[in-house]
Amino acid sequence: MNSLIAAGLLTLAIAGAAPQETAAVDKVDLIEVNHLYDQQGRHVIDQLIFYDWDSSHGRFQVRAWRLIKSPGQMPQRDWSKDAYVSYWRDMHVMRRVYASRIRETWTTYDPEVLEREVLPIEYRQELSQAAPTRRRVAAN
């Protein structure tokens, strides 16, 4: 066998053996980038708050939230889908959340905590809980 072909087959075998994750994908109506400050103006946290439109109450309702742990989590415009997308590793799952709208806020109160008075956490839909899938190579 030609050494070039053998090298190509080895490369394919190694690439096929590497585990590949698929992302858990969610669609929400609004992503809020919230910067929370205390009463003295000191920065506390940055968070993403995901909302769905509640037509029965005519308002956005919190679905879920996540701390922003890296700049890569910030929503970016995805022109191919005409939406904004936030993509990050959420514990053991790669996660991708799309929204048609985003907003950025700077507050001295936590909007997500305040929303718990309207809809307690246990009644929220939350984001997908899909487990990551990995491709496996069959043993010969």
Bridge partners for 35 per DSSP: 46, 106
Please say whether the beta carbons of 92 and 23 come within 8 A.
no
Query: pTM for the whole thing?
Result: 0.77
pLDDT at 22: 78
Q: What is the pLDDT of residue 133?
A: 53
Q: Cα separation of 62 and 111, whole Å?
A: 9
* Chunked mean pLDDT (size 10), the chain, 140 residues: 45 47 90 98 98 95 96 95 94 93 98 94 88 53
The Cα–Cα gap between 49 and 66 comes to: 7
Task: Tabulate helix, strand, coil % of the chain (nearest 5).
Answer: 20, 45, 35
Kind plus residue range of the DSSP H or E element containing 110 = none
H helices then E strands: how many in the chain? 2, 6
Structure confidence at residue 31 (pLDDT): 98
Residue 23 has a pLDDT of 84
**And the tokens for 70?**
């890296």
Give residue 6's pLDDT: 44
pLDDT of residue 137: 54
pLDDT given for residue 82 in this prediction:
94
> If you search the block for the tokens 């590793």, which residue do you land on?
89
pLDDT of amino acid 12:
43
**Would you state the pLDDT for residue 120?**
93
